[in-house]
Amino acid sequence: MAQVIYGNTFSGGCIQVPPSKSAAHRQVLCAALSRGRCSVSNVDMNEDIKATVAAVTALGVQARYDDSSSLLTLDASGLGGQNAVIDCGESGSTLRFLIPIVAALGVSARFEGRGRLPYRPLGVYKELLPAHGVAFSSQGGLPLEISGRLKSGVYRLPGDVSSQFITGLLFALPLLEGDSEIVLTSPLESKGYVDLTLSVLREFGVVAQETAQGWKVSGGQSYTPRNTRVEGDWSQAAFFLCMAALSPQGAQVELQGLRRDSLQGDKACVDLFRNFGLEISGRRDSLLAWNPRAGEPYGGLRGFPIDASQIPDMVPALSVCAALSRGETRIYNAQRLRLKEGDRLAAMAEALTGLGGQVRATADGLLIQGVPQLAGGIAQGKNDHRVVMALAAAGLRCEKGLSVTDAQSIRKSYPGFFRDFIKLGGFAHVLDLG
């Protein structure tokens, strides 16, 4: 286990935002389903993307990654087979995307995973897949075994479950012989992730027709091989916007590599941090952020209510900013965060309260009363990459040092986070505790 010591220095500067993990998962899978030769450029080979690449390799795809150019090449001509063992690591996206894909290919497979992944919900598939021709064998989580070939038809599921289930079906249903329909029985949450899926599908020549309650998906479609590039990650940008907001000196932060026309739902971070009081100006592919009132009490920041239903991954960064903003912030519609790498709501409440904040977890979110400064101390990272990264911003407003456990967890989504934080004048010293 590793521990990171954060300091309160921060001079600002310019960094390139890492590639979007969400987009990369989708582009790699579409390339694999094309049954041709494709390249995916600007790939950050974090642990989650490694899991997806390993999964398609287990299905017969040949993959080669060039670290020097961040280029992933795929030869999917051998996609398929009869049996596969798929290790999803700790990646919920890999698991939930691959289950219906493998079923559509008619491959018998055993899914395995580590950490909290074996305990994350799969109930939607447990109900849907057996009703559509697929045997589903599990003791409640992983390992999971499936066999049989997925059949077309009507797939009914709630819209407030993880959008990963919907994305998995959108990948799989075009491969079936007959037409299918996805019908949502409740309003859709995390819509941005589904929009991103639909956009990547269109890029590879696959379409789904939106309806009043979901999507109609024609069967017999083919994924077209093509070369593609991964866009910058708006969810990771949120951590650095939080640092700009909390910088005691009002340091400027420039974030490059962000598509202004991105369909990532986390692009909403711009408006949310503006609501706190951060100044943000935009250029074609970059943002410039600074806090003009940094020298005032609470840094001139103010709390406000936040509906997290469409932006769950941003809650850690938003909660840190709220903890140091004047007044009350209520984050709500975030109950799915209790089922991430851990209980992310409880983790943030525990960490920030332990550092001197006033944060209470509620049934569906967080209730935060801002304080002008945090004391500092030791916080538990809970083996959660987003908790560890969010607390780097908290360290900027700690009177004494801040130590956070489970520093190694950043490898899941952003292996270069400490490097980029230090490039912006932050202090991050990682201790390997064996």
> Is the separation of the CB atoms in 170 and 184 below 8 Å?
no
Displacement of CA 88 from its chain's centroid (Å): 15
Query: Among residues 233, 266, 313, 420, which one is catalytic?
Result: 313
108 contacts: CB under 8 Å, gap ≥ 6: 82, 83, 84, 145, 146, 147, 148
Count CB atoms within 10 A of the CB of residue 281.
10
User: Is 67 considered catalytic here?
Assistant: no
Q: What is the three-state SS of the chain?
A: CEEEEECCCCCCEEEECCECHHHHHHHHHHHHHCCCEEEEECCCCCHHHHHHHHHHHHCCCEEEEECCCCEEEEECCCCCCCEEEEECCCCHHHHHHHHHHHHHHCCEEEEECCCCHHHCCCHHHHHHCHHHCCEEEECCCCCEEEECCCCCCEEEECCCCCHHHHHHHHHHHHHCCCCEEEEECCCCCCHHHHHHHHHHHHHCCCCCEECCCEEEECCCCCCCCCCEECCECHHHHHHHHHHHHHCCCCCCEEEECCCCCCCCHHHHHHHHHHHHCCEEEECCCEEEEECCCCCCHHHHCECCCEECCCCHHHHHHHHHHHHCCECEEEEECCHHHHHCCCCHHHHHHHHHHHCCCEEEECCCCEEEECCCCECCEEECCCCCHHHHHHHHHHHCCECCCEEEECHHHHHHCCCCHHHHHHHCCCCEEEEECC
Is residue 143 reached through a cis peptide bond, with omega within 30 degrees of 0 on the bond before it? yes
- Token pair, residue 158, equals 């709630």
Q: At residue 218, what are phi and psi to the nearest 5 degrees?
A: -70, 140
Nearest of 33, 122, 18, 19 to residue 77 by alpha carbon: 33
Catalytic residue numbers?
313
